[in-house]
Amino acid sequence: MNCENNKKKLLRLIDAKAKIFTDVSDNIWGYAETRFDLEKSSALLISTLENEGFSIERGTAGMEHAFVATFGTGGPVVGILAEYDALSDLSQICDAAEKHALTPDGNGHGCGHNALGSGALAAAVGLKDLLSSEGQPGTIKLFGCPAEESGSGKAFMARAGVFDGTDVMFTWHPWTETRMWGFSSLANYQVYFHFNGISSHAAASPERGRSALDALELMSVGVNYLREHIAQEARIHYAYTNAGGTSPNVVQSNASALYFVRAPKSSQLRQIMGRVTDIAKGAALMTGTTVDIEWDSACSEYIVNDSLGRVMYENMRSLGGIEYSDEEKEYARAYTATLPETSKQGVADLIKQCFAPIDTQTAETMASEPLQSELFPYMMGNSVMPGSTDVGDASWVVPTAQALVTCYPTGTASHSWQWVAAGKSSVVHKGLIYAGKVIAMTALDVICDPEIAPRAKREHLGRLGGERYTCAIPENVQPR
């Protein structure tokens, strides 16, 4: 198969069905479903994939709205990750450049996963069209992954062995620049601590009470002292999900907190979590209460892969950046006008770092553009993004490459009302089609060149240094 000629054909095939993919994205934006409750969003992706000839496995890894769509036969097996979950309390009127909820207390696609899933769909369908027209062997698997924002759907999928047997994995994320995802992320455990005490009249018989709220507060004090003695990049944050009621004159018999504990390496995190658990037990001992520990979910750190990343970036380079019309720039400028001056400085600093050596004035000029149309230079390193993603779990099992593609105005933040508002714009549409093309072209490279997947695998094993993937979520904990 002539790979380069076929890439041109692949791009035409994706363009020919672009409206199908952008309509799916717009519809999923409207559904704005969260966590594991993704009935409409998954049904739309599934029906589109079925129409395109993919066979569907539903209810993957015990999650009703997870699925695997497969096409083709033989190796290599190319995996593509699709997300489609929204965020709670981020409802926002479409195309409105001021914060205004569409539905009070409603959900919104503040992380662009409507586009993420649809870009993955574009890649899978485009590649399928090419392989079937060329009679070329190769297997495409699109993984429909619920609950990226919270719940770690991919960790449950990895635990169930869903990604086993896949040779390479690709995904992307809608962003404010077009560049490679060239950094790791923090492993993250999400765990509830429930303290149980004895209620009593807080004035008349306090000696008979044992306060669960006291235990919770002492746990917080202990954890806040722990911070000094853990890895600099580790993060611990908590929310009191039950402070024991609203009556000061009742000794609180129940109190709970949800803890997020994060660190650059899963191996570090296991140790830190052991110490947080000891502090909870100590707080219970001090207060004469008991503590129950309930796992919610967990995800692993992201393992980068330079071998696959370089192949993906070459395809981004061949496509170049993304061009925008004057109307699109005007549209984006309405959103950048809502940002504080400091956000522009942050963008200029990023540009200076990525394009180094570059003079300050050029960086500031670029940062003042309402949309970043230029492809950023290739970067792949050991730096750690101070957040977490369950793509990490997939990347432990299968060599993974991930692109970031401009979909939103310069300087706007993920999980913001601005991203929700701009979520059905032509800028997002261009971004998801671009992402679909990059993933499909890179997958085609893997199919054409039998050296790529083994090279990526060798690098992957080297980076793991003999460690094997173990899911941090205990076996008895199910997605919910």
Of 111 and 441, nearer to Zn ion (C-beta) is 111
x/- site string to Zn ion, residues 218 to 257, per CB under 5 A? ----------------------------------------
Residues 9 to 28 in contact with Zn ion, rule: CB under 5 A? none
Nearer to Zn ion, 190 or 252 (CB): 190
Q: How far is the CB of 322 from Zn ion (least distance, A)?
A: 19
Residue 143 vs 193, nearer CB to Zn ion:
143
Minimum distance, C-beta of residue 34 to Zn ion, in the bound complex (Å): 13
Q: Which is nearer to Zn ion, 83 or 129 (CB)?
A: 83
Q: Which is nearer to Zn ion, 92 or 200 (CB)?
A: 92
* Tokens coding 450: 């039998």
Residue with Cβ nearer Zn ion (111 or 366): 111
Q: In whole angstroms, how close is the CB of 230 to Zn ion at the nearest point?
A: 26
Instruction: Return d(Cα 257, Cα 274) in angstroms, integer.
Output: 17
SS (H, E, C) 188-255: EEEEEEEEECECCECCCCHHHCECHHHHHHHHHHHHHHHHHHCCCCCEEEEEEEECCCCCCCECCCEE
Return the DSSP state at 108.
B
Distance CA 183, CA 260 (A): 21
C-beta contacts of 347-351 below 8 A and 24+ residues apart: 347/176, 347/410, 347/411, 350/177
Give the Cα separation of 354 and 321 in Å (integer). 15
Q: Nearest approach, Cβ of 107 to Zn ion (angstroms)?
A: 14
Backbone angles phi, psi at 5, to 5 degrees: -60, -40
Residue 340 CB, shortest distance to Zn ion, in Å, is 23
Closest residue to bound Zn ion by CB: 111
Residue among 307 and 402 whose Cβ is closer to Zn ion: 402
Cβ burial of 100 (10 Å; 0-12, 13-18, 19+) is exposed
- Least CB distance to Zn ion at residue 403 (A): 13
At 234, which amino acid appears?
A: A
Distance CA 389, CA 298 (A): 9
Q: Decide whether 149 or 167 has the Cβ nearer to Zn ion.
A: 149
**Closer of 90 and 447 to Zn ion (Cβ):** 90
- Residues 6 or more apart from 377 whose CB is under 8 A from it? 179, 354, 355
Binding residues for Zn ion restricted to 318-377, rule: CB under 5 A: none
CB of 111 to Zn ion, least distance (A): 3
For residue 224, give Cα distances in angstroms to 213, 289, 299, 314, 357: 17, 21, 23, 46, 40
Q: Among residue numbers 108 through 147, which ones bind Zn ion (CB under 5 A)?
A: 111
Indicate the residue among 111 and 115 with the shorter CB distance to Zn ion: 111
Within 178-217, the residues that bind Zn ion by CB under 5 A are none
Cα–Cα distance list, 190 to 357, 416, 472 (Å): 40, 23, 10
Give the footprint of Zn ion on residues 95-114 (CB under 5 A).
111
The least distance separating Zn ion from the CB of residue 367, rounded to whole angstroms, comes to: 23
**Touching Zn ion, residues 27-46 (CB under 5 A):** none
* 331 close to 425: Cβ distance less than 8 angstroms: yes
Kindly state the number of chain residues that form the binding site for Zn ion, as judged by CB under 5 A. 1
Encoded one letter per residue, x for contact with Zn ion by CB under 5 A and - for no contact, window 289-328 reads ----------------------------------------
Instruction: State the nearest-atom distance from the C-beta of 423 to Zn ion, in Å.
Output: 12
Show the site string, 59-98: x = touches Zn ion by CB under 5 A, - = not: ----------------------------------------
Q: Smallest gap, in angstroms, from Cβ of residue 87 to Zn ion?
A: 9
The smaller minimum CB distance to Zn ion, of residues 183 and 355, is found at 183
Q: Which of 431, 397, 411 is nearest to 299 (CA)?
A: 397
In angstroms, the CA 442 to CA 59 distance is 29
Cα separations (Å) of 75 from 71, 128, 168, 209, 453? Answer: 12, 14, 11, 65, 10
Q: How far is the CB of 382 from Zn ion (least distance, A)?
A: 22
**Residues of the shown chain interacting with Zn ion in the complex, contacts defined by CB under 5 A:** 111
